[in-house]
Structure 1
Amino acid sequence: MSSLSSPPSFPAPTSTPVSCGPAASATPSAHSAPPTQAELLDFARRAAADPELIASLPLDPQGRTWVRLDGPGGSEAWLIGWPPGSGTGWHDHADSIGAFVTAAGELTEHALAARIPTDGWTLLELADGVDRSRRLPTGQGRSFGRHHVHEVLNESTERHAISVHAYYPPLPRIRRYSRTDRTLRLEHVERPEDWQ
């Protein structure tokens, strides 16, 4: 478990993996297919429904906390605690697909329903109508494809939220953005060596 005042969009890969019962699986054999978005979402749902696992996460009133989990099929998975008012900022997970489920409290996701170029830009003007928002109370979640740009927030002023996240392949990089009205700006790219 780690805690930072301004953590990355997902936890730094320095925590000890934790098995979460039937939801966890070992790294696939050479003949196994990689997990699908549906399988990642199913894993996140089952892990989020494990009261013992959820209760094992220490919560910090100042910053997010996290524990690495054994994800399905060689995926990267995390149990994350969100203090009131915390969030990720705008980001994507590059070439990884993913899923997350709220295990306690409620999270809000703001996302862009637009295909963002993968490389070669620093400033984009977004079209009207690309913004999507959804509230994800306890037990609710979603999966997403590659290059999904979003931010996730705990908008509560009083209550922690807890969620389970899974990504495949394990995150090769995260692109961080700033946003002003319809302008999206690429601010920097993080790679695994930045999270060590």
Structure 2
Amino acid sequence: MSVSTPASPLASAPDSAAAPPAPASARTAAPTAAELLDFVRRSAADTELVASLPLDPEGRTWVRLAGPGGSEAWLIGWPPGSGTGWHDHAESVGAFLTAAGTLKENSLAARLPTDGWKTLELSEGIDRERELGVGEGRAFGRNHVHEVLNESTTEHAISVHAYYPPLPRIRRYSRTGEVLRLESVERPEDWQ
């Protein structure tokens, strides 16, 4: 199996690791965020699946999973000190859950405008922080701005993520104090 470290923290896995999407005729209604959370919970509990992920001490590793209802799903390994940076998943709803180790999620508890801005000054009290140990995770809605980190200096973390619709784009942000700045917009063709 070929697993590589992405240049971009949320880049797609190589085609050799990708599971084929479900045929259109096999799909039913779009999965909800709650259904995605149930899927990542069941996947994270699969000890054989979690143990099959090769871990790299220098960069994140990942394997594409067959998500429910045509969703995009990933098993991701996080080396000590790694993270995603601030980003959102645009129009996709999603869920993720820690299968091994501990992850931290910093997020914004407000809906931001989706387009037409480059810099926003955030209000006080908007920040949320969650520490997610084994078996802990969350679902989130469209345009959810967050960053995910493995703050351990010695231990890998592993998590399962699912998104629907499959990621149409990822907006990346930088943050200085209360100022959030849109830095780039990535689309699936940028991750190939």
Instruction: Determine if the TM-score, normalized by the shorter chain, exceeds 0.5.
Output: yes
Amino acid in structure 2 at the alignment position of 1:16: A
Once residues 38 and 23 of structure 2 are traced to their aligned partners in structure 1, the CA distance between those partners, rounded to angstroms, is 17
Mapped partners of 1:167, 1:185: distance in 2: 24
1:127 and 2:129 correspond? no
TM-aligned CA deviation for residue 16 of structure 1: 2.3
Alignment root-mean-square deviation, CA: 1.8
Partner residue, 1:22: none
- The reply to whether residue 63 of structure 1 matches residue 59 of structure 2 is yes
Check conservation: 2:9, 2:83, Cα contact below 8 A. no
Gaps of 5+ in 2: none
Matched, 1:17 2:18: yes
Sequence identity percentage: 72
C-alpha distance after superposition, 1:23-60 (max 9, x if no partner):
xx945647721000000000000000001100110000
Take 1:126 and 1:15, find their aligned partners in 2: how far apart are those partners? 41
| TM-score (normalizing by structure 1) | 0.92
For residues 128 and 136 of structure 2, the distance between their equivalents in structure 1, rounded to whole angstroms, comes to 16
Q: Choose which of 138, 153, 174 in structure 1 pairs with 2:134.
A: 138
Residues 107-163 of structure 1 deviation map (CA, whole Å, 9 limit, x = unaligned): 000000011111000000000000000000001010000000000000000000000
SS for the counterpart of 2:151 is coil
Deviations 1:49-88 (CA, angstroms, capped at 9, x unpaired): 0011001100000000000000000000000000000000
Q: Which runs of 4+ in 1 moved over 3 A?
A: 10-15, 25-31
Q: TM-score under structure 2 normalisation?
A: 0.94
**Cross-structure match for 1:94:** 90
AA of the residue aligned to 2:144: H
